[in-house]
A and B are shown apart, each in its own frame.
Chain A
Amino acid sequence: EDKVVQSPLSLVVHEGDTVTLNCSYEVTNFRSLLWYKQEKKAPTFLFMLTSSGIEKKSGRLSSILDKKELFSILNITATQTGDSAVYLCAVEAPRNNDMRFGAGTRLTVKP
């Protein structure tokens, strides 16, 4: 059975800290892995990763995929209170565009 596991489930840090969020997966016929940020309402897209070892970066956020070890990490440097959210990892499952989501990591950044 396909599964996506995120860790930790929750994390509390202070502004300025660096955090690493983890996503491991077991999905047949892997196509892509995506990260989303969910604040109060709808998840919004952050990154899509398809190739091993290539870092995607956007400002203070970056992500990398390891297809051999079946995991991805999302790094956030110099955290701000606006980074507080649930971060979701999703893996594209065998059927086109069918995604398997992890349970999410709830990040709280304190001032």
Chain B
Amino acid sequence: NAGVTQTPKFQVLKTGQSMTLQCAQDMNHNSMYWYRQDPGMGLRLIYYSASEGTTDKGEVPNGYNVSRLNKREFSLRLESAAPSQTSVYFCATSTGPIQYFGAGTRLSVL
């Protein structure tokens, strides 16, 4: 019973490259989230999915796209990475207000 699993754990990209961050949960939760965490700024919501087949923008969606592939999986795509997207990315799930987080992906864009 892994909870929320994120891959990869670390990634270094060059400006302009694309990549997809993967998130899978085995908690049978409907809601899934992608956050970024930057020093001094707490967690900021990028995108949110209330259920399979639905997604919605959060506070900082620019430069990102998401796919809710099924109930278990929610991926985050950077089409053309920029240095400003250097951050730690967290996926989370919930059935109510309490959210359960993955271990994070540390992304550096050079």
Taking beta carbons and an 8 Å cutoff, which residues of A are in contact with B?
4, 6, 9, 31-32, 34, 41-45, 48, 88, 90, 92, 95-99, 101-104
B44:A9 contact, CB within 8 angstroms: no
Q: Interface majority SS on B: helix, strand, loop or mixed?
A: strand
Which A residue sits closest to B6, measured CB to CB? A42
Minimum distance in angstroms from B60 CB to a CB of chain A: 12
B97:A103 contact, CB within 8 angstroms: no
Neighbour of B103 across the interface among A42, A88, A99, A103, CB < 8 A: A42
Neighbour of A42 across the interface among B45, B96, B97, B101, CB < 8 A: B101
The number of inter-chain residue pairs (CB within 8 angstroms) is 55
Q: Which residues of A contact B58 (CB under 8 A)?
A: 98
Minimum distance in angstroms from A77 CB to a CB of chain B: 24
B103:A92 contact, CB within 8 angstroms: no
Given contacts A42-B90, A98-B48, A98-B58, are A103 and B42 in contact (CB under 8 A)? yes
Interface size on B, residues (CB 8 A): 24
15 other A-B residue contacts (CB within 8 Å) besides A97-B96, A98-B45, A101-B42: A4-B42, A9-B40, A32-B97, A34-B97, A41-B104, A42-B103, A44-B101, A45-B98, A88-B42, A92-B97, A97-B48, A97-B99, A99-B45, A101-B44, A102-B42
Q: Determine if B43 is an interface residue (Cβ-Cβ < 8 Å).
A: yes
Minimum distance in angstroms from A91 CB to a CB of chain B: 10
A99:B40 contact, CB within 8 angstroms: no
Q: Which residues of A contact B104 (CB under 8 A)?
A: 41-42
Which B residue sits closest to A4, measured CB to CB? B42
